[in-house]
Structure 1
Amino acid sequence: MKLVSLEQAASVVKSGDRVFVQGAAMTPNTLINAICENYRELSNVEIISIHTDGPVNFAIPPYNKAFKINSCFVGSNVRKAVNTNQGDYIPIFLSEIHQLFRRKLLPLDVAVVQVSPPDKHGYCSLGVSVDITLPAVQHAKKVIAQLNPLVPRTHGDGIIHMSHIDSFVEISEPIHSYPEGKISEVEHSIGKNVAGLIEDGATLQMGIGNIPNAVLKNLGNHRRLGVHTEMFSDGILPLVKSGVITGENKAIDAYKIVSCFAAGSQKLYDFIDENPQLSFKDASYTNDTANIRKNPKVTAINSAIEIDLTGQVCADTIGSYQYSGVGGQMDFIRGASLSEGGKPIIALSSVTNKGISKISPFLKNGAGVTTTRAHVHHVVTEYGVVNLFGKNLQQRAKALISISHPDHRESLERAAFDRFGRV
């Protein structure tokens, strides 16, 4: 193991380098910000990542003079930069990002990661963010790592021998944690409606946030549920403890909770640490439609910023403003629809916090289509559930209007009539 000072590790990055940064709860902020301190000597350094967390100085002045962000998924800490000339966004499925590294479409000069101390065999863990970090580490010319004893050791594929890491910096600090939000009455209603679609023996995919947590809180009477997901949070813990989540009906990775990353409280990380019930995989495995569909009754629960009357889903932009990213929504929507008894679900509140309808005649000008209307099946709001599969455009409009907010139904009906001649 090559232990170096923070300054020595940061000096590895040179002008013109393409630098991968591990994301989510595992974002190595101390190391990446040490690199940013060299901004006066650097130029044209490209940062590539999915969602990162915490302060990342490459996105703010004066450091951003030396850095440009090329993001595969946009988080709040880089959102402003990505929507200016300081950065940009790559529209890509999470399941395919690994190809950018493995096929040298975006060859990596340096990977900046955070790992656990090595075990007695010399293997370090990538913790709770294996996702696209594993292929980045495998294909970067150089790897520098925060060596952190507070990183949970995870079972699965996120194991890297210390000989594959060029230099380590010893930093002991908690990884990022995320408090559970308070579930509103509207979110509770959505969760109850979604839970009504979930059958015993289903394999779940869910994200982070109040709506997924509201769904999970309504599953206490279910049985034999499994988890094969892109990510998970604290919401699964009571269901594992009570025996609702067992994984016994899964066709692949039976009895295992499979994910490529996790984000939640310290309680969640304590549950994950050295737990063989969990298997953390590369996103090219978890999000591969061919793998997802093998499990029975895959129920994929995803959300949206808006949905138009034909069923087109926008989940990553507000108009032309890049808000998040394509991520794995399409991977799991398609995988669930191909699973035996599977149910792809889009769950969203009927209106925004400002009372604007999320069900609209047309997507906003410049909005990206995250999930096409041909892929959308179940749509859920606090006002009910509709299934668009097999419905024509007029039938879709009528169905979606029926679960829109009552204050907007009349205007939506007029818009549908103007478009289709009837509703």
Structure 2
Amino acid sequence: MPSWKKENRNLKANKVSLDWSEVNMSYLQEYRSKLRSAAEAVKVVKSGDTVHYGEFAMASHVLDEALAQRKDELYDVVIRTVSNLFPPKTVLSDPEKEHFILHESFMSGATRKLHDQDMGYHLPITYHECGSYYGLGTIPVDVALLKVAPMDKHGYFNLGVSNSVTPNVLAVAKKVIVEVNTSIPRCLGGVKEAVHISKVDFIVEGDNKPLIEIPPARVSEADKAIAALIMEKIEDGACLQLGIGGMPNTIGKLIAESDLKDIGIHTEMLVESMVDMYEAGKITGARKTLDQGKIVYTFAMGTQRLYDFMDDNPACASFPADYTNNPYIIAQNDKVVSINNSLEIDLYGQICSESSGIRQISGTGGQLDFHFGAYKSKGGKGFICLSSTTTNKNGELISRIKPILTPGGIATVPRSLISYVVTEYGITKILKGLSTWERAEELIKVAHPDFRDELIKEAQKNKIWRRSNKIV
């Protein structure tokens, strides 16, 4: 029996019971009129359509599975996602890409495997700009398939743990279908953190499964060493952005155990260690010059502990990515510290954080946005972090600091915008304003000792070395 037919039924919406008797009768009637099964709702999708899924943890497996059932009826349907945390059934059902074509702007571990099997395409973006792609018509949206929290008494469905580009999608989508899930935390704004029922075409009541959890990444000894080096550069009142990976989360845990005070948060991703910092009293946001006292973010991925922390929490503020990731917004806070991981860097200072040669690993994400924004911030610092070495598939130790990027590798941060680089062997000077030979010297200083002589030879060969250079 549909939930709206159960009189005075209390929904466990965001740990707060919502009594349907509190809902405006006109919204209740509209809800009833728009309620469909998943199979009925996705019938609006036509061949040649562009379908946009919810982002990160907010993608709907219920609507995806229903759409996959229509495979034989549809051709050339473009599925656009942002870091889908599960392999879409639509894509799995059609490895030849005749019916469904995956376009993804930031790959998850689950969808990377699909791309490796030639079952999808990468969509390069600059994250703070990508909302404008919809307004320009570069990315059409025929149907939006979104997972949302239950409707509140004012007729709004909360977008949960991902704001990102969803408001931009909603602004241009010809049809909007929402899957209501009572496990979704109600994440407060900020702005544009909810969609009104008047903007929704069909409502599907889902299976209420909890959000996919992403456990904290494994932390290496190199991560710990890098985190300890960066901790020496963080001051009271710093405004922090942490990227994905074990090392940024390690820094959060170290801050929670430190004597630092009045840390602020303006970030792309709300991560697990920020809960540690908050509970330890380190995050107050009291010295922020913008959105004072608020933990500003655009999406979150983590465990249920993180999602519970976000639920109905006025300390957290959800904004679209064109706000959180805009370098000129970021820079309005003082002492912005941006901390992100990388895969490799060359002696010219080009940062590759998203591919291994031509193999796409993730995406540009917000690294470029925050690295640039931190530099523009008064007292700000942008750190690109990487272990000095890694092991290849043959078990050989190789340097992550290279003479040139691996052929086909993507320069996520161009050499002209790079600030600080950190390995377990140290932190470079700020690389902005340094010539090619000065950059090479700084980067070889933080390379693994076993590879320094080889890097010097390559630098000489590439004419970016001076005899006066000295490596300590």
TM-score by length of 1: 0.97
- For residue 241 of structure 2, the aligned residue among 185, 194, 205 is 205
2:90 aligned partner: 58
- Please report how far the alpha carbon of residue 43 of structure 1 lies from its aligned counterpart in structure 2 after TM superposition: 0.3
RMSD: 1.5
Tell me if structure 1 keeps the 8 A contact 2:187–2:318. yes
- Please report how far the alpha carbon of residue 353 of structure 1 lies from its aligned counterpart in structure 2 after TM superposition: 3.5
Q: Deviations over 1:191-244 (max 9, x none)?
A: 111111211111111122201111112212211110001012111112111211
1:28 maps onto 2:60 in alignment: yes
- For residue 101 of structure 1, the aligned residue among 114, 118, 134 is 134
Secondary structure of 1:379's aligned partner: strand
Aligned amino acid, residue 436 of structure 2? L
1:321 aligned partner: 359
- For residue 331 of structure 1, the aligned residue among 369, 372, 377 is 369
- Please report how far the alpha carbon of residue 79 of structure 1 lies from its aligned counterpart in structure 2 after TM superposition: 2.6
- For residue 299 of structure 1, the aligned residue among 315, 318, 337 is 337
2:21 aligned partner: none
Tell me if structure 1 keeps the 8 A contact 2:68–2:93. no
Secondary structure of 2:124's aligned partner: coil
- For residue 424 of structure 2, the aligned residue among 379, 382, 390 is 382
2:11 aligned partner: none
1:164 maps onto 2:199 in alignment: yes
1:375-414 correspondence runs (5 A): 375-387=417-429, 388-414=431-457
- Please report how far the alpha carbon of residue 90 of structure 1 lies from its aligned counterpart in structure 2 after TM superposition: 2.4
Tell me if structure 2 keeps the 8 A contact 1:54–1:77. yes
1:366 aligned partner: 408
Secondary structure of 2:229's aligned partner: helix
Tell me if structure 1 keeps the 8 A contact 2:55–2:164. no
Aligned amino acid, residue 56 of structure 1? P
- Please report how far the alpha carbon of residue 88 of structure 1 lies from its aligned counterpart in structure 2 after TM superposition: 2.1
1:351 aligned partner: 389
2:271 aligned partner: 233
1:215 aligned partner: 251
2:78 aligned partner: 46
In structure 1, runs of 5+ residues without a counterpart are none
Q: Deviations over 1:372-411 (max 9, x none)?
A: 1111111111111112232211111111111111221121
Counterpart Cα distance in 1 of 2:388 and 2:135: 41
1:144 maps onto 2:144 in alignment: no
1:101-140 correspondence runs (5 A): 101-140=134-173
1:180 maps onto 2:216 in alignment: yes
Q: Deviations over 1:6-56 (max 9, x none)?
A: 211222211111011112111211211210111000000011121111131
Tell me if structure 2 keeps the 8 A contact 1:297–1:341. yes
- For residue 252 of structure 1, the aligned residue among 290, 294, 298 is 290
Aligned amino acid, residue 358 of structure 2? S
Q: Deviations over 1:105-126 (max 9, x none)?
A: 2221001110000111111100
- For residue 104 of structure 2, the aligned residue among 39, 55, 71 is 71
Counterpart Cα distance in 1 of 2:232 and 2:53: 40
Aligned amino acid, residue 140 of structure 2? P
Tell me if structure 2 keeps the 8 A contact 1:5–1:169. yes
1:3 maps onto 2:35 in alignment: yes
Aligned amino acid, residue 277 of structure 2? L
2:188 aligned partner: 155
2:5 aligned partner: none
Aligned amino acid, residue 212 of structure 1? P
1:193 aligned partner: 229
Counterpart Cα distance in 2 of 1:197 and 1:121: 46
The 10-residue stretch of structure 1 (60-69 or 31-40) with the greater mean CA deviation from structure 2: 60-69
- For residue 306 of structure 2, the aligned residue among 248, 252, 268 is 268
Aligned amino acid, residue 197 of structure 2? M
Counterpart Cα distance in 1 of 2:116 and 2:322: 28
Aligned amino acid, residue 234 of structure 2? I
Aligned length: 423
Counterpart Cα distance in 1 of 2:371 and 2:194: 29
Q: 1:85 to 1:241 in 2, by over 3 A?
A: closer
Tell me if structure 1 keeps the 8 A contact 2:242–2:271. no
Tell me if structure 2 keeps the 8 A contact 1:191–1:216. no
Q: Deviations over 1:76-98 (max 9, x none)?
A: 33334445654322221111111
Q: 1:181 to 1:89 in 2, by over 3 A?
A: closer
Counterpart Cα distance in 2 of 1:268 and 1:344: 25
- Please report how far the alpha carbon of residue 74 of structure 1 lies from its aligned counterpart in structure 2 after TM superposition: 2.2
Tell me if structure 1 keeps the 8 A contact 2:236–2:261. yes
Secondary structure of 2:422's aligned partner: strand
Aligned amino acid, residue 207 of structure 1? G
Counterpart Cα distance in 2 of 1:340 and 1:11: 53
Counterpart Cα distance in 2 of 1:33 and 1:352: 38
The 10-residue stretch of structure 1 (337-346 or 234-243) with the greater mean CA deviation from structure 2: 234-243
Aligned amino acid, residue 412 of structure 1? L
Tell me if structure 1 keeps the 8 A contact 2:94–2:100. no
In structure 2, runs of 5+ residues without a counterpart are 1-30
Counterpart Cα distance in 2 of 1:238 and 1:62: 43
Counterpart Cα distance in 1 of 2:293 and 2:167: 24
Counterpart Cα distance in 2 of 1:50 and 1:147: 20
- Please report how far the alpha carbon of residue 356 of structure 1 lies from its aligned counterpart in structure 2 after TM superposition: 1.5
Q: Deviations over 1:255-282 (max 9, x none)?
A: 0000000011101111100001100001
Tell me if structure 2 keeps the 8 A contact 1:59–1:78. no
